[in-house]
Amino acid sequence: MASQGVWGAVVVLVRIGTRGSKLALAQAAQIRRKLKTFFPKIRFEFSIVKTEGDEYQSVELFKKNHVGVFTNAIERKLLQKEVDIAVHSLKDLPTELSKGLKLAAIPKRAPIEDALISRFRYTLTNLPKNAKVGTGSPRRKRQLLRLRPDLEVLDLRGNLDTRVSKVIKEKKLDAVVVAMAGLERLGKFKKYSRRVPANQILPAIGQGALGIQIRAKDPVIEKIAHRLNHAETETLALAERAFLKKLRGGCRIPAGIFSVKKGKNIYLKAAVFSVKNNSFVEAEVTGPITKSILIAENLARTLLKKGAKKLLIEARSGSG
């Protein structure tokens, strides 16, 4: 990135750090297109970074609740000034950012719900008895089994194409559960998908949102990146992240949350699930959107008082 001074300086090149998966590249391309409309004279270039989560596609890595497996390597590139902007799936980004980095923008959110992909576009209601369903997410697994205890839920890792192929091509599974946002961004597999309502499976914290991360002391890049920000998405997503931070949970804990703006209020519903059985605690709250962070933190405190602490310790032990 060539720049000097503050806003108004000449910026020739901005390097965008991203993972190399098809979905990550699609997300980064979406961001680059938007930035080009705002800043047509700046060249925006991709820098593809291989992360721990890409390199070690094992179920065990994710069961252990390691944080930052998809983001740490990109953050290091930011700190080393090898990239200027990082594009993350917000649900992968730890609530504690690396020192020297900050979130500059949260663009308008894609759909927050999960999607059920099957050859016959089943819903969770009419999915055949004892069907085999794949997911690598403890949050999805526990909610699936709450709704349909007859299902055989199998651990599954890999990119979207790999997971869907288990259903469509290899026919080893009857269905897989993925994020609807990924299908929207890639424009793939929608003919096999059915959206799962958020009141059936609570989404992950930050699901459907992207996080645009930069160095903390880079005012030129910050003003460029902030043009991507969507105020309502930012408010809701930051409330969800405040909830997760108060739980002291990583992106792999079996917790789900639904947030929505209702007039001048924010509505939040959240739950924490056991990784061993069908135990869970849940709560909901409505309050002024101007106090969204405090409301989200109080929601976390409520769940902790109701027994979430025990479930979180259980999850962090790598059980389930």
Catalytic residue chosen out of the listed positions 54, 84, 92, 161: 92
Could you tell me which of 136, 126, 172 has the C-alpha nearest to residue 57? 136
161 catalytic residue (yes or no): no
Residues with Cβ within 8 Å of residue 320, at least 6 apart in sequence: 63, 138, 141, 254, 274, 275, 276, 314
Q: How many Å apart are CA 258 and CA 270, to the nearest integer?
A: 6
Amino acid at 9: A
Sequence-ordered alpha helix ranges (H) in the chain: 22-38, 52-55, 59-63, 72-79, 138-147, 160-168, 180-186, 219-226, 231-247, 292-303, 309-316
Strands 114-117 and 175-179 come out as antiparallel
Report d(CA 69, CA 92) in Å as an integer: 8
Q: Which residues are catalytic?
A: 92
